[in-house]
Amino acid sequence: MKGAVYMEQAQQILGRGDIILVSSSPKPYGNNEQKGKRPWLVVSQKLLNQTSPFVLAIPFTTTFRKYPLVYNWSANHPNSVTKGVLLCNQLTALDVKNRDWVLLEQVEVPVEVDNIIQAILGYK
């Protein structure tokens, strides 16, 4: 049964604004990257996502963080199914073709998140 779910996921192309529940483990021991199963906000466009096994995504954390490279999702989107803080400085390429994931909801990527990504990558 798990294989059937995987096949359905492999055929589904994720798009910008999809929030998925996925584990990014395994990670190297002792690093500071987000580990374990958690929500991720997909920020890459569907056109890019259909040509690669990877999506660009930002992890959520339930630990409150207050520094310029995070976005407080819960405070700005109280009606969202997903709760927490987006760690925009941990923008990551996730191989969703080879991981089990679940689509939680579809949202608009906030302009503030785009602005943070642009500041990190140095473009506008």
DSSP E strand stretches across 24-100? 37-42, 54-61, 70-72, 85-87, 92-95
Q: pLDDT by residue for the chain (124 residues), tens digit each?
A: 333 334 345 568 999 999 999 876 655 444 444 556 899 999 999 999 999 989 999 999 998 888 889 999 999 999 999 999 999 999 999 888 888 899 999 999 999 999 999 999 998 7
